[in-house]
């Protein structure tokens, strides 16, 4: 087995969803963010449509995102269900992160390509970013709250960008448990030999 395969397998297995309370407060160098985005853009796409789009939020833009998430909570929670603590919590994660990448899609006008294929291509790009972040020692995770549909407008993104989630990133605190489990390959596979 090649060293490359062993290295890649370990990297894939070690990648975890790491949440912002487990990030250290230091910033991430802009050049490093660009390298992560570059790896994202090497994802495969049917007909090479490259439908992914990203907005990079750092510094005060993170406060803007926090405010947008909090506003969504207020506008979409009935008076009976409203809780001050939940309201505050809804905007907490961007402020605990060094950088948030707003994962967007600009769908191709080519009607031959089904929408799911374009979405799948963006998911491939996100996995590239996630593995890259993990290899760099960054904690990261893909978040998909209902509020994401309001974000292109709230953040002033181009009109044809649809938001598929938020990719939170920050330097990983020591001691975060990187272990997880998966079902056995046999449980999810059927072999057909004839």
- Residues of this chain that interact with ligand FMN (CB under 6 A) are 16-17, 141-145, 165, 180
Q: How far is the CB of 16 from ligand FMN (least distance, A)?
A: 4
CA atoms within 13 A on the CB side of 192: 1
Closest CA to 170 of 25, 16, 17, 11: 25
Three-class secondary structure of residue 143 per DSSP: strand
Q: How far is the CB of 153 from ligand FMN (least distance, A)?
A: 20
Whose Cβ is closer to ligand FMN: residue 27's or residue 86's?
A: 86
Whose Cβ is closer to ligand FMN: residue 142's or residue 171's?
A: 142
Give CA–CA dist 65/29, Å, rounded.
20
Find residue 165's DSSP bridge partners: 103
Whose Cβ is closer to ligand FMN: residue 63's or residue 144's?
A: 144
**Tokens at residue 130, please?**
């996630």
Q: How far is the CB of 123 from ligand FMN (least distance, A)?
A: 6
Query: CB-based burial of residue 102 (10 Å sphere; 0-12 exposed, 13-18 middle, 19+ buried)?
Result: buried
Q: How far is the CB of 3 from ligand FMN (least distance, A)?
A: 24
Whose Cβ is closer to ligand FMN: residue 23's or residue 141's?
A: 141
């Amino acid at each position: 087995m090649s060293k490359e395969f062993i290295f890649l397998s370990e990297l894939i297995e070690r990648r975890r969803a790491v949440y912002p309370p487990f990030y250290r407060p230091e910033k991430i160098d802009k050049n490093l963010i660009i390298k992560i985005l570059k790896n994202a853009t090497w994802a495969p796409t049917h007909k090479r449509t490259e439908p992914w789009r990203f907005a990079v939020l750092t510094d005060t833009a993170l406060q803007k995102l926090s405010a947008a998430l909090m506003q969504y909570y207020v506008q979409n929670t009935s008076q009976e269900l409203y809780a001050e603590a939940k309201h505050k919590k809804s905007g907490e994660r961007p402020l605990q992160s060094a950088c948030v990448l707003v994962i967007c899609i600009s769908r191709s006008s080519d009607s031959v390509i089904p929408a799911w294929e374009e979405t799948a291509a963006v998911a491939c790009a996100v996995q590239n970013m996630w593995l890259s972040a993990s290899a760099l020692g960054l904690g990261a995770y893909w978040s998909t709250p209902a509020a994401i549909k309001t974000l292109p407008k709230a953040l002033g993104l181009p009109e044809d960008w649809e938001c598929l989630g938020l990719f939170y990133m920050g330097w990983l605190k020591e001691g975060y448990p990187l272990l997880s489990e998966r079902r056995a390959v046999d449980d999810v596979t059927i072999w057909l030999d004839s």
